[in-house]
Amino acid sequence: MTVRQILKMGDPRLLRVAQPVTQFDSDELHLLITDMLDTMVAANGAGLAAPQIGEDLRVVIFGSGSPNPRYPEAPIVPRTVLCNPVITPLGDAEVHDWEGCLSVPGLRGVVPRWQRIRYTGFDPYGDPIDRTVEDFHARVVQHECDHLDGKLYPMRVRDFTKFGYTEVLFPGLDATQDD
Ligand code: NI
């Protein structure tokens, strides 16, 4: 088990367009995913993208299969490992909701996202994944996949009156479980 260091905003490695996975079911890929899962769980994250631990690959993980202490009221998202994801918005509807990011600790902002999406990609064995999801699940996927294109959620904030420090915005939240 290896909990890796999570890069913070300002690190240029978070701004790269990551490379596609070309070798599935390899020892390297499985090891990377194990590290990502350990790191996400240790940080109470809703998701993690490989670039956040400095790996230049199009791999994201998200979901827990159980309630997330950071988002206790959010619906349960199945634990998913997704390689080479492609997102297609379904319809024009956007939803605005709060997001945080393990690479932007201590802050939250309201971010517009597509309400309903289809996402496709591959699991670590190269088997296809194809899901149509909405709301929180769709938000998590869009946030994580943005990391693969060098985008952090503050770059998508439109209303900067709704961007600030978690401890100020949400004084009741347990700071140890923030971001
Ligand atoms: Ni993030």
| Dihedral sign of CA atoms 155, 65, 106, 168 in order | positive
Question: Tens digit of pLDDT for each residue in 51-87?
Answer: 999 999 999 999 987 776 666 777 789 999 999 999 9
**Tens-place pLDDT, residues 134-176:** 999 999 999 999 999 999 999 999 999 999 999 999 998 765 4
- Could you tell me the distance, in angstroms and rounded to a whole number, from the CA of residue 22 to the centre of ligand 1? 24
The two three-digit tokens of residue 152, written as one number: 């952090």
* Ligand 1 centroid distance, CA of 101 (Å): 4
Active site residues: 144
Q: How far is the CA of 40 from the centre of ligand 1 (A)?
A: 11
Chain centre to alpha carbon of residue 79: 12
pTM for this structure? Answer: 0.93
Q: What pLDDT, on the 0 to 100 scale, is given for residue 8? A: 98
Q: Tokens at residue 43, please? A: 């940080």
| CA 155 to ligand 1 center in whole angstroms | 12
